[in-house]
Amino acid sequence: MAQSRPATKPVLVPDVSQREIEIAYSFTGAELLLFGAILYPGGRLPVGETPTDVVIVVKGPVQSILMREKEQVAGIWVNAARLSYRSAPSFYAIVSSRPIKQLVDDRTQAIYELGLDSLQLSPASNAPPAEQDRFARGLVDLKRRSGLYYEAPHAVEITDGVLYRARVSIPARVPVGRFTAETFLIRDGRVLAAATRDIDIRKSGFERFVARAAESHAILYGLVAVGLSVLFGWSAGWVARRL
Tens digits of residue pLDDT in 175-215 = 889 999 999 999 999 999 999 999 998 876 445 445 454 55
Tens digits of residue pLDDT in 116-151 = 999 988 887 787 888 888 888 889 999 999 999 999
Predicted pLDDT at 1: 42
Instruction: Read off the pTM.
Output: 0.77
- What HEC string does 53-118 produce? EEEEEEECCEEEEEEEEEEEECCEEEEEEEEEEEEEECCEEEEECCCHHHCCCHHHHHHHCCCHHH
The average confidence (pLDDT) of the chain is 82
Contact 88, 63 (CB under 8 A): yes
- Please indicate, yes or no, whether residues 67 and 79 belong to a single structural domain of this protein: yes
Asked if residue 3 belongs to a domain, the reply is no
- Please indicate, yes or no, whether residues 117 and 219 belong to a single structural domain of this protein: no
Predicted pLDDT at 225: 62
* Calpha distance 52→108 (Å, rounded): 16
Tally the domains of the chain.
2
Whichever domain contains 76, its CATH number is 2.60.40.3880
Supply the range of the domain harboring residue 224. Answer: 204-243
pLDDT at 3 over 60: no
Asked if residue 2 belongs to a domain, the reply is no
Upper half-sphere CA count for residue 207 (Cβ side, 13 Å): 12
State mean pLDDT over 81-98.
90
Task: Place 6 in a pLDDT band, splitting at 50, 70 and 90.
Answer: very low
- What HEC string does 120-141 produce? CCCECCCCCHHHHHHHHHHHHH
